[in-house]
């Protein structure tokens, strides 16, 4: 993938500030690159831009609820996507976030899980005990992204294969009770809006941390075969909160609360490196 060494500053500034769909932002970057005789084939990232707004049906506390990103304004949001209900890696991630939900809540953050399954499938999975392959109640919403709008707003076009030929129904893992809502994205509008929708119509393992002002501060997208770390998500969220509360400081690699930070200038950085 070719990268543009020097982008037009006005386009870069507009890309950071706009809440336009990722597809539009991507075209702007390509046009600017062509003026510089360099073709950029990647979509512009959402980090630093307003998170795509969405409204959807979710399952929380054994009920169907309406959720929207606007509802969480003033809170940090950990928005994560997963491929499908009743699969294998997915329940390990979903239940891990639920089991640690109180830690996110204690620092002013909410968690939302999204897949392209329906709210009815979410509910069936949640109502199945974990020992029987279910989710149980979650501490956060699972979002139904049926129109795939949320997943695709995060700027990626990929080809992946997700095989279910060897699936043993009796071996499928469930969720039991969860501490957050699972969102139903049946139309795939959310998945599409966030750029995580694959050609097969399922979401990659995208994870986005959105700040109190609705700006995406962090984004990662995993392929289908490996899960994400709750510890790293929590650490990244804490680092984001720290630098937003202390704008004259930056957090070095692996920073955790209580660790030394540095000033983003030659003198301040020397003081940091001399102390470690």
Active-site positions read: 90
Query: Residue length, the chain?
Result: 276
Residues whose CB falls within 8 Å of the CB of residue 269, separated by 6 or more in sequence, listed in order: 262, 263
Q: Can you tell me whether residue 111 is helix, strand or coil?
A: strand
User: What are the distances in angstroms from CA 204 to CA 109, 199, 224?
Assistant: 23, 10, 6
Distance CA 237, CA 257 (A): 11
Report the candidate in 92, 232, 208 with the shortest Cα–Cα distance to residue 153. Answer: 208
Interaxial angle between packed helices 9-17 and 22-35, expressed in degrees from 0 to 180 and rounded to the nearest 10: 170
Angle, vertex CA 25, rays to CA 21 and CA 27, nearest 5: 120
Query: What are the φ and ψ backbone dihedral angles of 12, each rounded to 5 degrees?
Result: -60, -45
Residues whose CB falls within 8 Å of the CB of residue 199, separated by 6 or more in sequence, listed in order: 157, 158, 159, 160
User: In the block, which residue shows the tokens 């700027």?
Assistant: 155
- 8 Å CB contact between 160 and 204: yes
Other Cβ atoms less than 10 A from the Cβ of 18: the count is 14
Q: What is the token pair recorded at 98?
A: 């639920």
């Amino acid at each position: 993938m070719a990268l543009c060494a020097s982008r037009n500053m006005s386009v870069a500034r507009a890309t950071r500030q706009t809440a336009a769909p990722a597809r539009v932002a991507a075209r702007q970057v390509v046009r600017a690159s062509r003026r510089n005789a360099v073709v950029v084939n990647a979509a512009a990232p959402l980090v630093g831009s307003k998170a795509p707004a969405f409204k959807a049906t979710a399952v929380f506390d054994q009920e169907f609820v309406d959720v929207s990103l606007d509802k969480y304004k003033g809170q940090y949001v950990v928005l994560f996507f997963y491929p499908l209900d009743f699969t294998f890696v997915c329940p390990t991630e979903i239940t891990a976030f639920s089991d640690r939900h109180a830690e996110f809540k204690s620092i002013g953050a909410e968690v939302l899980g999204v897949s392209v399954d329906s709210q009815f499938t979410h509910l069936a999975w949640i109502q199945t005990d974990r020992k029987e392959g279910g989710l149980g109640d979650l501490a956060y919403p699972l979002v139904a992204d049926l129109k795939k709008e949320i997943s695709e707003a995060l700027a990626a076009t990929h080809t992946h294969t997700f095989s279910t030929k060897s699936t043993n129904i009796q071996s499928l893992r469930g969720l039991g009770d969860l501490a957050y809502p699972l969102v139903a994205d049946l139309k795939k509008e959310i998945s599409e809006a966030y750029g995580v929708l694959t050609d097969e119509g399922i979401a990659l393992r995208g994870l986005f941390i959105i700040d109190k002002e609705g700006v995406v501060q962090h984004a990662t997208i995993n392929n289908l075969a490996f899960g994400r770390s709750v510890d790293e998500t929590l650490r990244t969220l804490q680092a984001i909160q720290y630098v937003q509360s202390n704008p004259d400081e930056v957090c070095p690699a692996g920073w955790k609360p209580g660790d030394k930070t540095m000033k983003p200038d030659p003198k301040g950085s020397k003081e940091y490196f001399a102390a470690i």
